[in-house]
């Protein structure tokens, strides 16, 4: 199940929510995680001390994505990146005794690569046109 939350009074395009839910379901199937629940929190600038475009919290499985001021395709890419971190966590690849490297390193590079692949697969196999790149 995919649940998308918005923080506080953040203005969110309802059509974007539909794209986000459909994309997460698609990505979960590709990642063989379609038996999992996903809680996606859309954030405005400066909410929750978010210093990057996305985040994954292994302790509660929540995914944060910066929404405000970003193109839909970039939001989806951030969510895909964090979904890969969630998958890494399920595979016990994320160390519990120290913070993983946030720039470079296997886990971060893997998440970047998988996010790009998921976006391209989604557009190629799921959408009839490429208009999502301009939303």
Q: Which CATH architecture does the domain made up of 2-134 adopt?
A: 3-Layer(aba) Sandwich (3.40)
Q: Is pLDDT at 101 greater than 60 in this prediction? A: no
Q: CA–CA separation, 13 vs 36, rounded Å? A: 25
Does the pLDDT value for residue 47 go beyond 70?
Answer: no
Mean pLDDT for 85-99 is 83
Percent of the chain with pLDDT over 70: 89
pLDDT value of position 23:
93
- The sheet with strand 54-57 has its strands ordered as 2-6, 38-43, 62-66, 54-57
Q: For position 59, what pLDDT does the model report?
A: 85
8 A C-beta contact, residue 4 and residue 42: yes
In the prediction, which pLDDT does 100 show? 59
What CA–CA distances, in Å, run from 122 to 79, 95, 98, 100?
A: 13, 30, 34, 28
Tens digit of each residue's pLDDT (9 = 90 or more) over 27-38 = 999 999 989 899
């Amino acid at each position: 199940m995919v649940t998308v939350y918005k923080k506080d009074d953040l203005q969110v395009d309802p059509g974007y929510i539909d794209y986000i839910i459909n994309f997460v379901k698609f990505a979960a199937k590709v990642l063989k995680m379609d038996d999992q629940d996903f809680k996606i929190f859309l954030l405005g600038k400066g909410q929750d001390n978010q210093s990057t475009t996305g985040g994954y919290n292994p302790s509660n499985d929540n995914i944060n994505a910066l929404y405000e001021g970003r193109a839909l395709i970039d939001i989806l890419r951030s969510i895909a990146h964090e979904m890969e971190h969630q998958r890494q966590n399920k595979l016990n690849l994320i160390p519990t005794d120290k913070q993983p490297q946030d720039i470079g390193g296997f886990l971060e590079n893997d998440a970047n690569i998988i996010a790009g692949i998921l976006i391209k697969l989604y557009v190629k196999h799921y959408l009839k046109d490429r208009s999502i790149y301009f939303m």
